[in-house]
Structure 1
Amino acid sequence: MILVVLPVLALIALQVTGVVWFTLPGAPALAAGPAGADYLVLRAAVRLFQHETIVPAWR
C-alpha cells in the first residue's frame, strides 16, 4: 500500500508547487516512472524474501 501512496503524494506535491504541470500526454508518462520503480522493488523483495529462515527464528 505504501508503495502506491508515496509516489502519488510526491506527484501531488510536484503539481501543487508548480514544478510539474500535468497534461494529458504527460500524466501517463509521469505515472509510468513510479509504477516501474514499484514493480522492480516488489520483484526484488519477493526474490529476497526467505520464509524458511524467518519462521524458525521467530518461534
Structure 2
Amino acid sequence: MALSHYTMSTPNTMHPKPFQVRMKAETHRWIHDQAKAQERSANWIINRVLEEARERQLAAQRPQS
C-alpha cells in the first residue's frame, strides 16, 4: 500500500474524513511555495486559507449594528 493511500485511509480522531482535492497546477505550486517560505506544511497553508475564508464569510453574514 502506498504511503499516501495509507495516510488517507488511516482513521484520525482529529480529522475523521480526509479528502482529496483537484486543483490547478499554479494553485498547487503557490501552496507549496507558501509552505516553503513560511516553513509550514502544505496542509497547514490549506487549512489556514480555508479558515480565513470561513471567517470572512461568517463576518459578512453577521447583522451589522
TM-score normalised by L of structure 1: 0.40
Kindly indicate whether structure 1 or structure 2 has the higher relative contact order, using CA contacts under 8 Å at least 6 residues apart. 1
Structure (1 or 2) with the greater helix fraction: 1
TM-score normalised by L of structure 2: 0.37
